[in-house]
Structure 1
Amino acid sequence: MTAYTVNLNPIIKLTDDQFYQLCRENPGVKFERNHKGELIIMPPTGGETGNKNSEINADFVIWNRQTKLGICFDSSTCFKLPNGANRSPDVAWIRKERWDALTPEQQEKFPPIAPDFVLELMSPSDSLEDTQAKMQEYIDNQVKLGWLINRKTQQVEIYRLGKPVELLASPTELSGEDILPGFILSLQIVW
């Protein structure tokens, strides 16, 4: 399955509240919205990708519970980025003080904040070009560190704010660097 983009702008430009309501009224459909306001209908992942996402997220949650440095999010969380896009990375993390600066209503709906860290794990149906563009969009919206993991090619693209993309071939682990202090993701659970 592939993602579909639907442009409703000639008919209606959805407000943030209308987009939120659309998502709530259609819980079986995963929507994102690009910076132009176009709806992106995301297909569900298959079993292998879902399992790998779950394993990766577990490592982040365990690390975060130990360090208490921030807040972890799974792929069902949609963030309102500064450019107006609504995106749902497979894993996201935000420093606690940045999260706490949001109002309870902002935290409850689609948080209007770019995460400090994002991870995208490619599904077999994902387009590499589209996923790379999404990663660049995260960085352009002040995400500090991002990992694009491509299981098919066993490659990882590391996106850092203000730096060129780094490509790693078959790495065994990834470091959270100074964004996720002390975090190491073993890629044995991915490959």
Structure 2
Amino acid sequence: MKLAQTAFRSEDVFTQREFRRWLGDLPPSNINHYELLDGRIVMTPPAGWTHGSIGNRIGVRIGQHVQEQRLGIVFDSSAGYELPSGDTLEPDVSFVSTKRFATQPPRTPNQFLRMAPTLVIEILSPSTARRDQTEKKDIYARNGVDEYWIVDPAKKIVTVFHLTRRRYGAGRSFKTGRIRSRVLPQVDLSAEDVFSL
């Protein structure tokens, strides 16, 4: 495979099937994350402990609520999605509602989910910030992800975007207080909870 000079994005274009095969050929010692965006393989190095801690905190809090209310399933960054657009993404935290999960194709263990999640949460890091705020945001909107959160650890802000006609509006930012979600309106999670280390 020929990589671009940045070593983060392939020059060659791949299908989802080719991407799966390519991932299968990687050595087990490879700790990087790979996604397929607009047919190009994009490599993301490990983000660091702050990123992981925030993702875990959000996932646990939302996961407890979702499980108690039997609303669906919450996934961490190890779950990837083969989206209808041909992109394959691994959000930091994602939620699939029971209704959406039931209407999708049968799932194969240890494979990507072939659906769009209901809610996606991406945590910004220096290597992903631009992509999360532009390219991936557009991909999630095109594929019908109802709600998209961008978590900015540097600014300590969570911005929530809602889908309207395959586009996200301006979004609402939370620096303090309870984060308001339309997808999970009863979840009790504050900006302070997200960023407390």
The count of residues paired between Structure 1 and Structure 2 equals 183
Deviation, 1:137, is: 2.0
- 1:32 paired residue among 7, 12, 35: 35
What is the aligned partner in structure 1 of residue 112 from structure 2?
110
Query: Is 2:166 the partner of 1:149?
Result: no
Deviation, 1:165, is: 2.0
Amino acid at match of 2:111: K
What is the aligned partner in structure 1 of residue 22 from structure 2?
22
Deviations 1:136-174 (A, max 9, x none): 321221110111011111222221111512242513221
Secondary structure at the aligned position of 1:66 is classed as: helix
Deviation, 1:66, is: 0.1
* Structure 1 unaligned regions, length at least 5: none
Amino acid at match of 1:188: E
- 2:176 paired residue among 146, 149, 171: 171
Q: Is the 8 A contact 1:135 1:159 kept in 2?
A: no
TM-score normalized by the length of structure 2:
0.82
Deviation, 1:32, is: 0.1
Amino acid at match of 1:31: Y
CA-atom RMSD in angstroms:
2.2
Q: Pick which of 75-84 and 99-108 moved more.
A: 99-108
Amino acid at match of 1:118: V
Secondary structure at the aligned position of 2:43 is classed as: strand
* Structure 2 unaligned regions, length at least 5: 1-5
Deviation, 1:30, is: 1.3
The CA distance in 2 between the partners of 1:169 and 1:60, in whole Å, is 17
CA gap of 1:48–1:112, structure 2 versus 1, over 3 A, is: same
Deviation, 1:184, is: 2.6
The CA distance in 2 between the partners of 1:135 and 1:76, in whole Å, is 19
Q: Pick which of 49-58 and 151-160 moved more.
A: 151-160
Identity of aligned residues (%): 25
Deviation, 1:129, is: 2.7
CA gap of 1:148–1:8, structure 2 versus 1, over 3 A, is: same
Deviations 1:79-102 (A, max 9, x none): 111211111111111111321333
The CA distance in 1 between the partners of 2:7 and 2:83, in whole Å, is 20
Secondary structure at the aligned position of 1:184 is classed as: coil
Amino acid at match of 1:44: P
Amino acid at match of 1:21: R
Q: Is the 8 A contact 1:78 1:88 kept in 2?
A: yes
What is the aligned partner in structure 2 of residue 182 from structure 1?
186
Amino acid at match of 1:111: L
TM-score normalized by the length of structure 1:
0.85
Deviation, 1:189, is: 3.1
Deviation, 1:25, is: 3.6
